[in-house]
Structure 1
């Protein structure tokens, strides 16, 4: 007797980030997008690593409450400069300040991903740390880059997948899409653990 493949649970990306949406589309799985309602303010003395892990899980849990039968992905990225969190700059002046701080420095982009399914009680969270070494940046280079790419919605003010790669000396990572915002190797591992069949 021929068995049809089991019905998959729906997949929901708990993020409004277009970068994460584009990355998840690579897996060829149908998914919905939902905005997590989570306060992203760091707790007193919270490390960038702990902040990223806490927020990824909080986002996945918040969306899983609205979609209890679904498998939900939550993710968060915090740029870590010598233990200080650098968030999304939001505007030009703040981006200039961030890039000046990061010039000639190594910044660790802490990218956390969580997978939650309320119906089954499944919950996992993992962290992908990406070490990024910035070269010495002049104010003219910073200004030219920001005018060209306007990366004001990116933690740390630089898009490695675009022109921002020209600001860097090196990237060290074991999950190549982590820096863009969603570590797909870890995401696939957790989706399979949650019971989804990946192509």
Structure 2
């Protein structure tokens, strides 16, 4: 059994389109407490993403002995500062204004855990630069995005109208969406090749 320790619609869609048989179960962990602990210990955005991905997978693994559990997480780093999903429209506006004209990094981590043991992990980074857009451009994009902007770190979706706000993007597309899919598929070919067989989804 393959389990995705997440409720993310984007991650679920990526696995489904890749033809993987899986179920999704969100992990009950205190993400902000774990993040604070990692940062207080001198960690950065990459460390936080890996830590959260591992803890998510371990939490779900404890409930499903024998299952292979995917944990994934993504952080947005503007220098040493980490941004999170906006809580409302004004917060999304403020986050986009904060990112305007600057380069930030998205760190996406993915882990595989079985019986509480971490058996594989990977992290990828993408670098994105926003245009010096106007408040009017920002508002048009947020109007088009609607509630979706509140479900994405930084208040934007590169796969949606938010693409209008960017100047350059360097990095893997799946990393930007929050799941390093190609490294994950390579790991599954080694660890559980049966999951990629035609019979796996029947």
Q: With structure 2 as the length reference, what TM-score do the two structures score?
A: 0.88
CA–CA distance in structure 2, aligned partners of residues 196 and 66 of structure 1: 23
User: Can you give the 5+ residue segments of structure 1 that lack an aligned partner in the other structure?
Assistant: 1-9
Name the counterpart of 1:165: 163
Name the counterpart of 1:3: none
| SS of 2:155 mapped into structure 1 | coil
Measure how far apart 1:192 and its partner are: 2.4
CA contact (8 A) 2:6 2:72 kept: yes
Moved over 6 A (4+): none
CA–CA distance in structure 2, aligned partners of residues 139 and 195 of structure 1: 49
Name the counterpart of 2:187: 190
| SS of 1:19 mapped into structure 2 | helix
Q: What aligned pairs does 1:31-110 form with structure 2 within 5 A after superposition?
A: 31-41=22-32, 42-43=35-36, 44=40, 45-110=42-107
Measure how far apart 1:122 and its partner are: 5.0
Measure how far apart 1:143 and its partner are: 1.3
Measure how far apart 1:87 and its partner are: 0.8
Name the counterpart of 1:12: 3
User: Can you give the 5+ residue segments of structure 2 that lack an aligned partner in the other structure?
Assistant: 198-202
Q: Which has the higher helix share?
A: 2
Q: How many pairs does the alignment contain?
A: 188
Q: 1:99 to 1:122 in 2, by over 3 A?
A: closer
CA contact (8 A) 1:122 1:194 kept: no
Name the counterpart of 2:12: 21
Name the counterpart of 1:125: 121
Measure how far apart 1:46 and its partner are: 3.6
Q: What aligned pairs does 1:137-152 form with structure 2 within 5 A after superposition?
A: 137-150=133-146, 151-152=149-150
CA contact (8 A) 1:71 1:194 kept: no
CA contact (8 A) 1:128 1:178 kept: yes
Name the counterpart of 2:200: none
CA–CA distance in structure 2, aligned partners of residues 37 and 104 of structure 1: 36
CA–CA distance in structure 2, aligned partners of residues 84 and 190 of structure 1: 31
